[in-house]
Structure 1
């Protein structure tokens, strides 16, 4: 792979679609296939959640470019389940039902605190523009300080809880001054729009529709919060050990495609359909392409990234999200050294 590391800036998750709202389901394969990682004719099957209607993998699926790239190392994609939260994807990798998944460093840390069967092999810089604390227009909440005494929806142990805790810490507000309401991200929009919570700590996958509606905005975005919430790609440990050349080829594809997506984000929206619930249209499309254009690319994990991962792990331990500080560095792959 050509690896002159580009200037990296704020990012959106580049492996799985930004609009996939469904949880990972139906990931099983036979034990014989998963043990060998190979299908007919010795071709290695790479089990990846279906990417939905937008993003790098959606386009790669539609035009066949991903299978073409992986075919050079004797591999092909087996689309399985749907893109969604990282926690169930991590469980699927641990159970040898999935080979590749995307998640944030925050959800990654809580998954690593269990008994992980995966390692991270790429990083996309924190999304300064597309994540933050979302409030409804006219709510009267004009700063993080205004969240005191309010209810804020977060996904437990993941990006939402991290963003809220990080924002409160930066504003010197004790965490217990704000009520955290734990909700699944794909169930939160209705609760937020019904006014049952006052704010929502959220990322671009779910924020785009709300901001695009013209009825909500970030009271503090990732830049204002000082977020270290990287997007990471994870690989099942056994798969990486058996097929390092496939992991490296996948990285190369994602790196190149994410750079192209940043240059031309509209080409990666509504890949299969521009109508229906998976389509991003109108103002929401403008919001999404704007976030993507400001985003980063899929890159190797470097020393500076590892240091920031450690800072997030230390913060989570300090905030008692995890019982101890998780050693993230022990679960990283140097994709440039894979052979």
Structure 2
């Protein structure tokens, strides 16, 4: 028996509702009798990745135009927690993040559902330590300070690593910091280690001054990357959600085959660009990454294990029901 998924309104009702209301569009569309285009709000993806290339070369715009939709790039991509708040506030329609951040956001009256999953990053996430720090094993973290993002990937990776070694989490001090503010603290030696993912680890490893103590593969991470959609948007525009999934899946397959084509898509100079060793590291990580796929029942079981782990570790007050917030994109 399949786990129940998010209930959607009937196709007949959707067609009627979309024809009557739409989202976005211009007065000219209405004047000439054309149905207004549906606007889908997505955080600006920056300089790298599937969405970044799709924005730069127009391929995403063309794919969505086939279902009479267009993108409005809103804000910028970053941690999922603030993006979840924007979804709930009807300021975004799409956002990406980890299942770990997703679980903490789901515990707060969510107005979104997840519809894609990408397998955990085996090489790009882990616990960073500085070269020559004297920290050679997870056991060496006892009595030390480790920077993590609260309730997200960093906290999960640290707790998972400690569990694997049978170490009481209270023996390691968690320092809660925003990921975009942690590099300076880490490099100044104010924390001894940093549990983090590829968006931030690549620069540190590429600098030649840091390395992973353990990575995602070492600790058996189930930290899937997910795409979330605002619930009301999915109910009103399932064809747009399905078209976006198809685009993301096909582009992610190409990205794994040719990672470098999806890096530095806007500029190869300046702070946004990856160069030298950092570029090589990111290409290596991306080549080992997963592709965007529908969420299966097996995936949900793994997500639920993470939710149970978070509840047991006291990250969430109770175990979150993941299945209640998953959309089967194959049935839209």
Cα distance in 1 for partners of 2:25, 2:81 equals 27
Match of residue 37 from structure 1: 23
- Matched residues, number: 304
- The whole-number CA distance in structure 2 between the counterparts of 1:273 and 1:219 is 32
Q: Which of residues 39, 55, 58 in structure 2 aligns to 1:61? A: 55
Q: Which residue of 2 aligns with 1:191?
A: 185
Deviation readout 1:203-253 (Å, 9 max, x if unpaired): 000000000001000000001111000000000000000000000000000
Instruction: Tell whether 2:88 aligns with 1:85.
Output: no
> Is 2:135 the partner of 1:118?
no
More deviation, 37-46/324-333: 37-46
User: How many Å apart are 1:36 and its aligned residue?
Assistant: 4.6
Specify the alignment match of 2:287 in structure 1.
293
The 5 A counterparts of 1:298-309 are 298-309=292-303
Equivalent in the alignment of 1:157: 151
CA distance in 2 between counterparts of 1:138 and 1:329 reads: 44
How far has the Cα of 1:303 moved from its partner?
A: 1.2
Cα distance in structure 1, aligned partners of 2:181 and 2:225? 22
Correspondent of 2:276 among 272, 282, 291? 282
Provide the secondary structure at the position in 2 that maps to 1:305: helix
Specify the alignment match of 1:216 in structure 2. Answer: 210
Distance 1:269 1:76 in 2: 24
- 1:252-284 Cα distance to aligned partner (Å, 9 max, x none): 000000000000000011001000000011000
Q: Which one of the candidate residues 136, 142, 159 is aligned to 1:142?
A: 136
Alpha-carbon shift at residue 38 of structure 1 (Å): 2.7
Superposition pairs of residues 231-242 of structure 1, within 5 angstroms: 231-242=225-236
Residue by residue, what CA displacement relative to the aligned partner does 1:108-139 show, whole Å, maximum 9, x if unpaired?
A: 00000001000000000011111000000000
Q: Distance in 1 between matches of 2:236 and 2:175?
A: 42
- Length-normalised TM-score, structure 1: 0.89
**Which has more radius of gyration?**
2
Structure 2 gaps, min length 5: 1-20, 30-35
Q: Secondary structure at the match of 1:279?
A: coil
Alignment gaps of 5+ in structure 1: 1-34
Q: How far 1:285 moved relative to its partner? A: 0.3
Q: Secondary structure at the match of 1:276?
A: coil
From 111, 125, 128, give the equivalent of 1:131.
Answer: 125
Q: Among residues 100, 124, 136, which one is paired with 1:106 in the alignment? A: 100
Aligned equivalents of 2:137 and 2:220: distance in 1?
A: 15
Picking from 323, 329, 333, the partner of 2:327 is: 333
CA distance in structure 1 between the aligned counterparts of 2:50 and 2:275, rounded to whole angstroms: 18
Q: Which runs of 4+ in 1 moved over 4 A?
A: none
**1:93–1:117 Cα contact (<8 Å) kept:** yes
Q: Distance in 1 between matches of 2:80 and 2:93?
A: 13
Cα distance, 1:39 vs structure 2: 2.2
1:20 matched to which residue of 2? none
In structure 2, the residue matched to 1:8 is none
CA contact (8 A) 2:22 2:37 kept: no
